[in-house]
Amino acid sequence: MTAYEGGRRVVEAAAADAERAVAEYDAARQWLAAAMRGPMEPLAAEVWVFDTTLARVLLVRHRWRGWVPPGGKVEAGETPREGASRELFEEAGLRPELLPDPAAVAVRSYHPALPVTLGLSYAAVVDAGTPFVAEDGQPVAWTRLDEGWESCFPDDPSRIRQHAAWLAGRTGRR
What digits encode the pLDDT tens for the residues 22-43?
999 999 999 999 888 877 778 9
Considering the domain boundaries, does residue 149 fall inside one? yes
Q: Note down the domain range covering 18.
A: 8-171
Considering the domain boundaries, does residue 143 fall inside one? yes
Which residues of the chain carry a pLDDT beneath 70?
Answer: 1-6, 172-174
End-to-end CA distance of the chain: 44
Considering the domain boundaries, does residue 2 fall inside one? no
The span from the CA of 22 to the CA of 43, in Å, is 18
> What pLDDT, on a 0 to 100 scale, did the predictor assign at position 22?
97
Considering the domain boundaries, does residue 1 fall inside one? no
CB 56 within 8 A of CB 128: yes
Longest dimension (CA), the chain: 45
Is residue 159 classed exposed, middle or buried when 0-12, 13-18 and 19+ CB atoms within 10 A define those classes? Answer: middle
CA-closest candidate to residue 47, choices 137, 140, 174? 140
Considering the domain boundaries, does residue 132 fall inside one? yes
> What pLDDT, on a 0 to 100 scale, did the predictor assign at position 110?
86
CA-closest candidate to residue 60, choices 144, 141, 121? 141
Instruction: Read off the CATH number of the domain in which 35 is found.
Output: 3.90.79.10
Half-sphere CA count of 136, side-chain side, radius 13 A: 0
Considering the domain boundaries, does residue 76 fall inside one? yes
- Give the total number of structural domains in the chain: 1
The span from the CA of 123 to the CA of 104, in Å, is 9
Question: 24: Cβ–Cβ under 8 A, 6 or more apart, which residues?
Answer: 18, 104, 105, 106
> What pLDDT, on a 0 to 100 scale, did the predictor assign at position 161?
98
Q: Over the stretch 163-174, which tens digit does the pLDDT of each residue have?
A: 999 999 987 665
Considering the domain boundaries, does residue 43 fall inside one? yes
Considering the domain boundaries, does residue 136 fall inside one? yes
Q: CA 128 from chain center: how many Å?
A: 19
> What pLDDT, on a 0 to 100 scale, did the predictor assign at position 6?
63
